[in-house]
Amino acid sequence: MRQLTKLRIRNGLGGSSPHRAHGFHHNCALRAPTKPRVPLNGVDYPRLASTSSSCHPKTALFFPGQGVQRIGMATAWLEAFPGTCKPFLEEMDSLLSYPLSEIIADGPNSTLTATENAQPAIMATSIMIQRVVEQEFGFKTGERVDVCLGHSLGEFAALVSSRYLRYEDALRMVRRRAEVMARCSRDASKAEGGEYGMIALVCEPDRLSSLIEAIHDFLGHGASEGGRDDSTFHTPAIEQVLIANINSKNQIVLSGNIERIKALLVQLRQFGGHDPRAVRLATDSPFHSPIMAPAAKVMRDILENTDVNFDDASFPCVSNVSARPFGSVGQLRELLSRQCVETVRWWDSIRWLDQEEGVRRWVGIGPGKVGRNLVGKEVGMRGRDDVRGGGVWGISDPKEVEAVLRALEETEGVG
C-alpha cells in the first residue's frame, strides 16, 4: 500500500487530485461506435474508427469469464484502495440484497464457485478493478480504449465498461442469469439423469477446422455454432452436446452430458482421425448449449425492459455470438440473450480485431490470467521489441497496475 501510494504521487496522481491523468496526452477525441459498416452474413456490423489521426495505437480492453473466481480475489484491492473498493463492495451487496462480498473474501470455495455466486462475483470484481485504475490512477478509459470484449460472462463487464449498460442493471441481470443457468443444470440432471459439464479439447492448430467438422458430422447437425439449429432444442438434454467455445487456434470446449461427450471422443479417435487432449473443466453446468434455453428466454425478457445506452457508449463492444461489434440496440438485446445457448466465438473476435482492425494493444482487466493467455496465444504475446506499439497486458493484482500503465504510456505515440 505504501509503495503504491509513492508511485501514484511520483506520477502526479496523489494528494487531492486522484483523477489526474497517468502521464497521457489528452488530444485524442472520444471514439463512440463508428458509423461505417461492413455486411457479415447479411447483417451490418460497425467497424472501428481509424486511429490514423489519434495519438495511440488501437487498444482493446477485455474481461474474463467464469472459472477465474478465487477466495480473496478482492482482498488485495480492498486493502490497497479502501476509499474506492469499500463503498463499491458495499454497493454490490446492497444491489444484490445479500453479502456477496463476504463470500468473495472468506468462501467457502464451494459457495463461491456456485454459478449464482461466481458470475456476479467475477463481473463485479472486474468492474471494481477498472474503477480503481480510473479513480486512483486517473486512467481515462473512454479516451485510451478503442474497443472492448469479454469472454462469455465477461461480455457483461465489457458492456458496463463501454457504458452500453449501467453497472447496477448488469449486476442484477448477471445474478438472475446465473440463477436460471444453475436451475437448468439441476433440471437436466433430474429429468434425464447423468452428469453435465464442459470438456476442453486441445489439438494441433492445423487440425482445428477438420476437428470441428468431424464433431458436427458425428453429432448430426451442421450448424457451426450452438443454438443455430432449432431442432437441437427439442432433443432430450442427455443427447445435447455442442461446441460452447472456440477459444483459440487449437482449443475448443464441448458442453453437455459428460458421458455423451466421452462417447463422442471415442468416435473422433476411432473413426474421425482425431486424438485431441481432453480436459474436464471445473463446472457442473453445460453453458452455451440448448440446455440453457430457459436462461436465454429470461435474458430476452429482462433486456426488453433494460435501458441500453447505445448512442452515447464510449467505444464499440464485440459480441461473443457474431464476433463483431453490436450494431444496434435491438441487435445487442438479441445477441446477448442468444449468448446463453450459442458458441462463444472468442478466437474469431480476436482474429478480427488483430488482423482486420489492426488492434495492437490488449489490456485484460479482472481476476485470473486465462483471458490474457488466450489473447496472447493468437497475437503472439507481442511487446514493444517485437511489434511497434504493441503488447498484451493484464491487471488482476494491484502490483500490476503501474507496469501496465507505464507500458501504455511508453507506446502511446507509437504505431
pLDDT of residue 414: 67
- Report residue 323 CA to chain centroid gap: 12
For residue 12, pLDDT beyond 90? no
Q: What is the pLDDT of residue 383?
A: 42
Give the count of alpha carbons within 13 A of 374, CB side only.
26
Digit-coded pLDDT (tens) for 243-279 = 999 999 999 999 999 999 999 999 999 999 999 999 9
**Chain segment 357-382, per-residue pLDDT in tens:** 999 999 999 999 888 888 988 886 54
User: How far apart, in whole angstroms, are the C-alpha atoms of residue 57 and residue 389?
Assistant: 6
- Which residues, in sequence order, are bridge partners of residue 166? none
Cα 409 to Cα 23, 55, 124, 365, 412, distances in angstroms: 7, 11, 27, 17, 5
pLDDT interval class at 24 (50, 70, 90): very low
Backbone angles phi, psi at 77, to 5 degrees: -70, -40
If you average pLDDT over every residue of the chain, what do you get? 85
Q: In 333-390, where do the E strands start and end? A: 361-365
Confirm if 181 and 285 have CB atoms less than 8 A apart: yes
Residues 101/89, Cβ–Cβ less than 8 Å: yes
Answer positive or negative: Cα dihedral of 92, 94, 97, 98.
positive
**What is the C-alpha separation between 92 and 69, in angstroms, rounded?**
16
Other C-beta atoms closer than 10 Å to the C-beta of 79 total 11
For residue 284, pLDDT beyond 60 = yes
Please enumerate in sequence order all residues whose Cβ is within 8 A of that of 312, keeping only pairs 6 or more positions apart, or say none.
Answer: 32, 163
Model confidence over 199-221: pLDDT tens digits? 999 999 999 999 999 999 998 85
| Cα–Cα distance, 240 to 257 (Å, whole number) | 7
Q: Burial-class residue 107 by CB neighbours within 10 Å (0-12, 13-18, 19+).
A: middle
- Average pLDDT value for residue range 104-128: 97
pLDDT of residue 388: 52
Predicted local confidence at residue 415, as pLDDT:
56
What whole-number distance in Å separates Cα of residue 69 and Cα of residue 113? 7
- DSSP one-letter code for 355: I
Rounded Cα distance, 123 and 140, in Å: 20
Residue 23 CA from chain centroid, whole number: 28
- How is residue 91 written as a grid cell? 454497493
Residue 165 C-alpha cell reads as 449498460
Query: Is the predicted pLDDT of residue 332 greater than 50, yes or no?
Result: yes
- Span 307-324, mean pLDDT? 96
